[in-house]
A and B are shown apart, each in its own frame.
Chain A
Amino acid sequence: MFDRDDGALDRVIRQLRQPVSIDPALDARVMEEIAADAAPGRLATPRPRFPLRGARWPWLAAAAVLGAILIARPWSAGGDTDALNAFQFVLVAPQASSVSLVGDFNDWDPARSPMQTAQGIWATTVPLPPGRYRYAFLVNGVEWRADPGAPRAGDDEFGTPSSVITVGGKGS
């Protein structure tokens, strides 16, 4: 790459470490200039004028309504179809003491999506963007189960079952 010249490097470092002298009157001079520019009659930018003097509020009201319409965008009632949609995953496992949902959407990390139970019905909700995801349930930290209500992943390459969920995108 290049040969390092430690002597030159040390000299540069010493130069950079030299204290910088600043004129103590600098702040005062800057403030004087600002005050002079801000004096009446010396504003560089003229104040904007409304086309109809005295009719300022109707214009402001119209702008507010237009802004509200643009924000609400009622013509796109379906929203962005590529946005996240929430999906609920459910497993009936009355004997289980813990169930985690793991898959492509949470880096296969059992700690990320622990499921909550109500009388043996374990459930959790996960937001998913469009795509195809493999996932499985980890029961009691040791037992892998596929989702009985979803298609099975065709290639269980690691010897345990997985399921797949496909989230459609635009044009679905």
Chain B
Amino acid sequence: MMITALLLIVQVAAQDPRLERLDPATRSLVVSVVDSAKAVGLPGEPLIQRALEGATKGALGPRIVTAVRRLATDLGTARAALGAGVTTPELEAGAAALRAGAGPDVLTHLRDARRPPLTMALAVLADLVASGVPADSASAVVLALAPSARDADLVEFRRAVERDISLGAPPGAAAAVRAANTGIRLGADAGNPPRPASRQ
């Protein structure tokens, strides 16, 4: 009895105090997901932040748990696609790209085509899709830019596409035209990424 109580006290003490903003039932489930993620080498902090976002926004417990579980799954898929040596920011950006609609194979191609860190390339891919560019077009253009473009070039490309969209251009067409300006042709086979360059 005493030992059980002691273990419970130790467990509560080991929990992240930030999670006290969640109700007890939700907190218990979120802690379980975070612990499971950590056990397989995934970062816990993004999961905690997602739970805190839900708590601050007043979401119901089941919705928070669903969001945290979904993110844990995406982080795991991203890690499998990007490899074990990937950093937490790269994992987070990879999970965002997956959530946006990019396939795991796109992440793997990107890893092979570009020197690390991949954070910005993955983030630009996710941002392009979030702004309405079809996932296959966004994947193709980011993979084509990846071997040689600097992070700043990728960000500028994204801004140019978003600017065109805000001026009324269809998202897919905006990405295609901007890609053409950099010498990249997006055709009917946009979903098939170009063969990546060898990793340097």
What is the distance, in angstroms, from A28's C-beta to the closest C-beta of chain B?
48
Q: Which residue of B lies closest to A134 (CB)?
A: B53
* Contact-size category for B: 35 or more
- The answer to whether B99 touches A155, judged by C-beta atoms less than 8 angstroms apart, is yes
Question: What are 23 contact pairs spanning A and B, CB under 8 A?
Answer: A1-B3, A102-B56, A104-B49, A104-B53, A108-B52, A108-B53, A130-B117, A132-B92, A132-B93, A151-B127, A153-B130, A154-B96, A154-B99, A154-B100, A155-B96, A155-B99, A158-B67, A166-B119, A166-B124, A168-B120, A168-B151, A172-B151, A172-B152
How many pairs of A and B residues are in contact by the CB < 8 Å rule?
97
Q: Does B59 contact A (CB under 8 A)?
A: yes
| Cα–Cα, bound, A151→B158 (Å) | 9
Q: Does A89 contact B (CB under 8 A)?
A: no
Find residues 129-172 in chain A having any chain B CB closer than 8 Å to their own CB: 130-132, 134, 144, 151-155, 157-160, 162, 164, 166-172
| Cα–Cα, bound, A104→B3 (Å) | 37
CB-defined contacts of A171 to chain B, threshold 8 Å: 115-117, 151
Residue among B57, B70, B129, B162 making CB contact with A154, cutoff 8 Å: B129
- The answer to whether B123 touches A169, judged by C-beta atoms less than 8 angstroms apart, is no
What is the distance, in angstroms, from A63's C-beta to the closest C-beta of chain B?
38
Q: Does B199 contact A (CB under 8 A)?
A: no
CB-defined contacts of A109 to chain B, threshold 8 Å: 52, 56
Given the interface contacts A155-B99, A157-B63, does A110 sit within 8 Å of B49 by beta carbon?
A: no
Q: Does B55 contact A (CB under 8 A)?
A: yes
Q: Does A107 contact B (CB under 8 A)?
A: yes
Q: Does B195 contact A (CB under 8 A)?
A: no
CB-defined contacts of B123 to chain A, threshold 8 Å: 132, 164, 166
